[in-house]
A and B are shown apart, each in its own frame.
Chain A
Amino acid sequence: MRKYIILTLIFLPLFGFSQTKLGFQKADSLSYQYYLKGEWNKLITLTNVAFNEGVDSKFMRQRTGYAYFMTGDYTSAEIQYERALVFDRQDEFTKEYLYYSALNSGSENTRLYAGNLSAVAAKKLGIKRFNPVGYINTEYSLKTNQTTTRSNQIYYRFGIQSELGYKISLYQGFSYYEQIISNVLTRQPEYVAIFKWNLNPVWQIKSAYHYLFTNVGNISYPGNLGLIALATHLNRFTFEANASLLKASSVMTKQVGLQAGVVLPGISNIYFTGSLVGMSESGSLRTIYSQTAGLKFSKNLWAEGNITLGNLKNYNTFNSLYIYNSIDPTLFKSGVSLVYFIGKHLSVLGNFTFDQQKMSNSTNNNYYYQYSYSGGLKWKL
């Protein structure tokens, strides 16, 4: 009996503490103290309890945002500064740190938030409304296989992104693909234009046009693709619905897709994106599922893994940047990418992908494997 009384006495203060409400005054003054001392984890724990109690203020949101920013959890920092902005849309500190958080987390809203900065802050950071060259990038890819009738595939691309205001961006890419199949050379120069329009921090409209100038031997099979997408960004979640139409030779391919993504809390910025795509071509329907997961290994190094299942014949991804229109359809692909940031402007991309292809001109279901090695550079101006 005595044992139970002692145990009760030990745990009683704990129950008491958990039931005590924090209140505004305590949360405000304690969070300020933690902020001054730079005790970021204590500050985050405290304000999260306060927010759950309904105790909230602009300053508490700003302090919490700063604490997340200092610990390197930029997505969480961005969420807190977005909340602080609801309290006061003109607060210069909020607007500036919202921009920094978005910039560091790689948010789609970075330019939108740059547009909210004061003229003085924008000048200090060298931000312009119209920027003809936001970044340039290049990619080279070599795909090898062990079949005798298929040569290695070569693909390369040069791209330029322009910022046509704070809400609209345009990416233009010029690429080239080449492969010899059964002694016939296939060459494919391409042009892609991708528009992104951020209506507000939540909604984004995307549209794209992709031209394929396919030459098989001496015969040309030009192709045109149009895409439209509506994306929404809600705190840690993103959702997208997209539809595209590809007309190449006499074949019309319709593609509709739904995509959902989440960024987990924490400094590793672990994220998952899943997409389900429906394809309609020559009266037949098929589905494709793709899953991506990525994380930040260190301040400069990001890693991403992906897997795609389904018949990818004429499938497009990354807002139609890539079109899988090889004569041999891909049935499965999986790969890993690494992105290394060197300084403020340059990032280097490395990718390895494994594909399973179906041999198109074979009467049997013959498959072969491809190993793709890609490298890329991106220079942000």
Chain B
Amino acid sequence: METLSKLWITSALFLMSLALQAQNITELQAAFSKSYIAENQKNYTQAIDEMKPVYKEDDYISNIRLGWLNYMDKQYGESITFYRKAIALKPYAIEAKFGCVKPLSAIENWEKVKEQYQEILKIDPLNTTANYWLGVIYFNRKDYKSATNLFEKVVNLYPLDYDSVIMLAWAKLNNNSHTDAKLLFQQALIIRPNDSSALSGLQLINKWLEVNLKSPVK
């Protein structure tokens, strides 16, 4: 009899917890729904407020959502904080790291942006977005060798992607690989005929060839 009553209590508690969980999920879904409506109306402050009653620090989705909304609301410090919480909760999820890149870029924290891309590439070494944008960071810092390595990975995966081909061409040219650069600029012109960037690159290469391959004056 005693065992039976224990079983009843346990079952009742289990059912209650299921009901509570279901209620929580319903509340969460309702909050997200209201938040999406506010976001679509570009009312980001309200979209954030809709999330607040259901926010739990250990909930990955809520942290991502608040990271994004705070970014849209130009609250970059708060946005970074929420994204960092999400990253800590799911260290192998690259979406939180990509999310964090946005507010970090907005405040021009290129050191941290670089770190996030490097972390993404540790998890997903052939990720085209991370390879491309980390390549752009290195290119802007005149580190053409590192930029070339990263753009090459993207071009190998997507030989017809104009942005990667043209960036690789410029990185090669700045790295004094004129022959490779010429081929890549020509490839860029196939993808995008009359492209001004590719044409100016080829013009520079031709000038360089004129100067460096000229026969010595008698």
On whether the beta carbons of B108 and A88 are closer than 8 Å, the reply is: yes
> Which range contains the number of A residues in contact with the other chain?
10 to 19
On whether the beta carbons of A90 and B141 are closer than 8 Å, the reply is: yes
On whether the beta carbons of A24 and B108 are closer than 8 Å, the reply is: no
Complex alpha-carbon distance, A122 and B30, angstroms = 60
On whether the beta carbons of B74 and A89 are closer than 8 Å, the reply is: no
Contacts of B112 in A (CB 8 A): 87
Whether A296 is near chain B, meaning CB under 8 Å from some CB there, is: no
Q: A23-B74, A24-B75, A24-B77 are in contact. Are A90 and B110 (CB under 8 A)?
A: yes
Q: Count of B residues near A, CB < 8 Å?
A: 13
Distance between A57 CB and nearest chain B CB, rounded to angstroms: 4
Could you mark each residue 93-135 of chain B with 1 if its beta carbon is under 8 Å from any beta carbon of chain A, else 0? 0000000000000111111100000000000000000000000
Whether B76 is near chain A, meaning CB under 8 Å from some CB there, is: yes
On whether the beta carbons of A87 and B110 are closer than 8 Å, the reply is: yes
Contacts of B111 in A (CB 8 A): 86-89
Q: Which of A54, A87, A88 contacts B77 (CB 8 A)?
A: A54
Whether A313 is near chain B, meaning CB under 8 Å from some CB there, is: no
Q: Which of B77, B108, B109, B141 contacts A55 (CB 8 A)?
A: B77
Q: Which of B76, B106, B110 contacts A88 (CB 8 A)?
A: B110
Most buried by B among A25, A53, A90: A90
Could you mark each residue 68-106 of chain B with 1 if its beta carbon is under 8 Å from any beta carbon of chain A, else 0? 000000111100000000000000000000000000001
Complex alpha-carbon distance, A53 and B74, angstroms = 14
Contacts of B74 in A (CB 8 A): 23-25
Whether A58 is near chain B, meaning CB under 8 Å from some CB there, is: yes
Whether A59 is near chain B, meaning CB under 8 Å from some CB there, is: yes
Contacts of B110 in A (CB 8 A): 58, 87-88, 90
On whether the beta carbons of A59 and B77 are closer than 8 Å, the reply is: no
The residues in A between 16 and 59 inclusive whose CB is less than 8 angstroms from any CB of B are 23-25, 53-59
List B residues at the A interface (Cβ < 8 Å): 74-77, 106-112, 140-141
A23-B75, A87-B111, A90-B110 known, 4 other contacts, Cβ within 8 Å: A58-B110, A59-B108, A87-B112, A89-B111
Rank and list the top 8 A-B pairs by shortest CB-CB distance, nearest first: A58-B108, A57-B107, A54-B77, A90-B141, A88-B110, A87-B109, A25-B74, A24-B74
List A residues at the B interface (Cβ < 8 Å): 23-25, 53-59, 86-90
